[in-house]
C-alpha cells in the first residue's frame, strides 16, 4: 500500500530535504525512523527539495509498505522517535500511483524579513537594518504575473527541462516587526524564491527601479538579478493535491 506522510521541520540542522552521502538530511532521518519502526527498508519521496537551512511548515512525502498499522499509532511512535526538529502531522492511505512530487498542484512559501533586532527570531528571519519601501516591493511582485520563464532567478547549472513556472500569488505583507513575502506557484526552481526576495529587497532599498524587473526577467541571466537571501528566513508553508489521490 502507498501512504502519504505530512510533516513539518526546522531545517537549521539539516543539509536540506534530499538524501546526501556525506551530510544529514531530513529525508535520511525520516527514512531511518520509518525503517526502524516498520522493521523493513522504507524509502520516501518528498513533494520537493528544500535547500540547506530552509524550513517546512508543511511537507508531504509518500512511501510504500505491506505492513499493517494504525496511522495514529505510527504518528505517535514517529514523533517519539524523531528528533525535536521534525514533527509528523498525519499519515493517510492514497492510491497506488499517487505521487508526492508529481501530483502536487500548488506549493506556497513565505520569506520572513525582520525589521528590528529580535533575540528570539534571529535564526528564523532575515534581519535587515535599512528601511524598505513595501509599496515598491508589492509593485514589483505584480510584475511576476506577467511572466512564465524565471531562469534569471534559478541557480546556475540546474538540471531542469524548463524554467517555466505559473505564479498564482505573490505579495509582501507587514506583520508586527517583520515583512513577509508570500508566493504560490505550481513549481519552483532551485533558489528561485530566495533570488526573487533578494531582488525585491534591492528594489525596496532603492537600488533597483521597479520597472527594471522586466529587463531582469527578460534577460534570463542570474547575474542580472539580485542577491540570494539567507536560507533561514524561508519556509515551505503549503503543498496542495487533488482529492483524486485518495482511494
Which residues are the active-site residues? 51
| Euclidean distance between CA atoms 125 and 54, whole angstroms | 11
To the nearest 10 degrees (0 to 180), the angle between helices 134-143 and 212-219 is: 40
Cα pseudo-dihedral 216, 220, 221, 225, rounded to 10:
30
* φ, ψ dihedrals at 62, nearest 5°: -120, 155
Could you tell me if 170 and 100 are in contact, meaning their C-beta atoms sit under 8 angstroms apart?
no
- Cα–Cα distance, 125 to 12 (Å, whole number): 12
8 A C-beta contact, residue 181 and residue 200 = yes
In angstroms, the Cα distances linking 218 to 14, 153, 158, 225 are 34, 11, 19, 11
Query: What is the biggest distance separating any 2 CA atoms in the chain, rounded to whole angstroms?
Result: 59
Find how far residue 199's CA is from the centre of its chain: 18
Amino acid at each position: 500500500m502507498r501512504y502519504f506522510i505530512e510533516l513539518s521541520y526546522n531545517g537549521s540542522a539539516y543539509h536540506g530535504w534530499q538524501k546526501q552521502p556525506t551530510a544529514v538530511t531530513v529525508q535520511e532521518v525520516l527514512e531511518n525512523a520509518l525503517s526502524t519502526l516498520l522493521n523493513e527498508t522504507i524509502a520516501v519521496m518528498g513533494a520537493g527539495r528544500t535547500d540547506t537551512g530552509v524550513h517546512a511548515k508543511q511537507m508531504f512525502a509518500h512511501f510504500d509498505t505491506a505492513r499493517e498499522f494504525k496511522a495514529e499509532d505510527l504518528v505517535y511512535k514517529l514523533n517519539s522517535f524523531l528528533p525535536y526538529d521534525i514533527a509528523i502531522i498525519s499519515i493517510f492511505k492514497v492510491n497506488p500511483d499517487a505521487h508526492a512530487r508529481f501530483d502536487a498542484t500548488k506549493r506556497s512559501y513565505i520569506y520572513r524579513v525582520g525589521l528590528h533586532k529580535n533575540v528570539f527570531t534571529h535564526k528564523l528571519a532575515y534581519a535587515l537594518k535599512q528601511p524598505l519601501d513595501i509599496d515598491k516591493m508589492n509593485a514589483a511582485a505584480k510584475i511576476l504575473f506577467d511572466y512564465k520563464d524565471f531562469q534569471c532567478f534559478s541557480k546556475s547549472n540546474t538540471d531542469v527541462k524548463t524554467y517555466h513556472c505559473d505564479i498564482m500569488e505573490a505579495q509582501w505583507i507587514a506583520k508586527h516587526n517583520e515583512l513577509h513575502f508570500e508566493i504560490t506557484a505550481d513549481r519552483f526552481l532551485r533558489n528561485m524564491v530566495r533570488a526573487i526576495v533578494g531582488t525585491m529587497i534591492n528594489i525596496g532599498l532603492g537600488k533597483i527601479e521597479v520597472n527594471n524587473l522586466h529587463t531582469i526577467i527578460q534577460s534570463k541571466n542570474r547575474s542580472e538579478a539580485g542577491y540570494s537571501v539567507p536560507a533561514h528566513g524561508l519556509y515551505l508553508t503549503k503543498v496542495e493535491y487533488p482529492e483524486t489521490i485518495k482511494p
